[in-house]
Structure 1
Amino acid sequence: MTARLDPDRDSAPWWEAVDRGELLLQRCTACGVPRFPARALCNRCRSRDSDWIPARGTGAVYSWIVNHQRFMPNLPVPYAVVCVRLDEGEDILMYGNLVDEAGNAADPATLVPGLRLRAVLIDGLVQWTPAE
């Protein structure tokens, strides 16, 4: 497992699912709108009632940064951190590193806005690889 912050009340079920190899989204049970990140209130109807649904794990590149600073000795640079707009909704954005099929840092030069990506769960974190 990769080091990360302690999950809070709202995000704990999401992290538990990622640890099991599942990608979930929180959904308002009153109006049916999915949301991420998890939070206590629905942005649309203000309901406090929610459940968890499987995410498709697909989306498109919305934005990205390319990091050239070596923060950890075993982390190769450069690497890209992408912001992915999930297919479940325009306002559902998720971040992660861009990786290849083997889970290694992918070439940031391949990134273009709208590039289709799919989620891969590696070491308890969501990463993104180009969709086929």
Structure 2
Amino acid sequence: MTIKLPVCTSCGKTQYPVREICGECLSEDLKWLDIRAEGELLASVPLYHSLEEFYQERLPWTIGSVRLEDGTVMMVNLGETMEPGTEVTLRAEEDHKGRTVYRAQKKEE
């Protein structure tokens, strides 16, 4: 499974969060590429407060940080409780406002 993220063609660094110039070398030469969407859950935390009505109705909302195989660390939504160290796969989804968000689920063996 893959997700698309911008990758710097000068230094090879995956850009997350998405930006217009490379956060590593400041190059403007970024290209959207397929990135392997597998990694390890580093940490998770439930959110108990939100300013957006959509999320207020769904609290607590659990988010986590995931380190992909290329070293990129992403903030993701978690659909279930998972322990740090859990192997996960990510998928891109649209939130209620049409923005791309990422959801982690336990990696199928």
How many aligned positions are there?
A: 98
* Superposed displacement of residue 51, structure 1: 0.6
Which protein is richer in helix relative to its size?
Answer: 1
- Give unpaired runs (5+ residues) of structure 2: 96-100
* Superposed displacement of residue 114, structure 1: 1.6
Residue 48 to residue 57, structure 1, CA distance change in 2 (3 Å):
same
- Give unpaired runs (5+ residues) of structure 1: 1-21, 100-105
* Superposed displacement of residue 68, structure 1: 4.2
Name the residue aligned to 1:66: 46
SS in 2 for 1:51: strand
Q: Which residue of 16, 28, 32 corresponds with 2:8?
A: 28
* Superposed displacement of residue 86, structure 1: 1.4
Q: RMSD value over aligned CA atoms? A: 2.3
* Superposed displacement of residue 122, structure 1: 3.5
Name the residue aligned to 1:38: 18
Write the distance in 2 (CA, Å) between the matches of 1:79 and 1:114: 20
Name the residue aligned to 1:118: 89
Write the distance in 1 (CA, Å) between the matches of 2:92 and 2:4: 12
Name the residue aligned to 1:81: 63
Which protein is richer in strand relative to its size?
Answer: 2
What TM-score, normalized by structure 1, do the two folds share?
0.61
Letter of the structure 2 residue corresponding to residue 87 of structure 1: E
Letter of the structure 2 residue corresponding to residue 130 of structure 1: K
What TM-score, normalized by structure 2, do the two folds share?
0.72
Name the residue aligned to 1:129: 105
Name the residue aligned to 1:15: none
Write the distance in 1 (CA, Å) between the matches of 2:61 and 2:13: 33
